[in-house]
Amino acid sequence: MPVKFVIFDLDGTLVDSSVDLCNSINHAIKPYGVELLTVEETISLIGEGVTKLMEKVALKHSIPLSELDTMLARFLDYYEAHILDNTVLYPGVIEILRSLNGIKKALVSNKRTAPCKKILEGLGALEYFDIVLGSDALPEKKPSPMPLIYAMKELGFSKDETIMVGDSTYDIDAGREAGIRTVALTCGYRPVELLLNADFLIDNIADLSSVLVKIQEAN
């Protein structure tokens, strides 16, 4: 069955938000006099949502978890004000979204819904999505299949008609648990050796077109 519905991850898949996330983390931890994070360190920590992110940062720097709420508030305040300072779409994203004529599209992220929409709108991509689900949209987030299954039900698509496109094990595991085919980007935030369980590996988002052709031909 041809693909009629594509579910995309956001960070590391459609956008590079690592610098703005790094700056926001460092703003949150600066009062504690600890060593600030590099962008590379930030990339290694993100993917499970902002609360888990700040927990990891606190543990990494031996900051008491009793400070977590304060750190989280500082992070969110700063990130909201600086969310698009350095965040950019990866090359080819708008082109691939435009090319998916007649194919419905969802954004499912472990980032909260409001910042997802703000980023997509600010970068001119929100109009291409039929539904946007952040980590606060449902009781569970990736790697749970819940948001993927919800999106399919909301828009009326079967497992055979749907694929998940992402750059992390959270995306692949969620897709596999939901019973849909998975496409992993090797140019995102995770090393390729962690992505080998995906049904398809692509080096950049433009290669998604060839995956859709392969699926079509297989049917």
Q: Which one from 9, 16, 20, 167 is the annotated catalytic residue?
A: 9
Cα dihedral sign, 41-168-108-110: negative
Q: What is the DSSP string of 175-206?
A: HHHHT-EEEEETTSSS-GGG-TTSSEEESSGG
- For residues 217 and 1, give the distance between their C-alpha atoms in angstroms, rounded to a whole number: 10
What strands lie across the sheet with 181-185, from one edge to the other?
131-133, 104-108, 5-8, 162-166, 181-185, 200-202
9 catalytically annotated: yes
In 3D space, the residue among 89, 75, 66 whose CA is nearest the CA of residue 23 turns out to be: 75
Q: Which residue bears the tokens 């990494």?
A: 60
Taking residue 38's Cβ as centre, other Cβ atoms within 10 Å add up to: 12
Q: How far apart are the first and last CA of the chain?
A: 6
Question: Which active-site residues does the annotation give?
Answer: 9
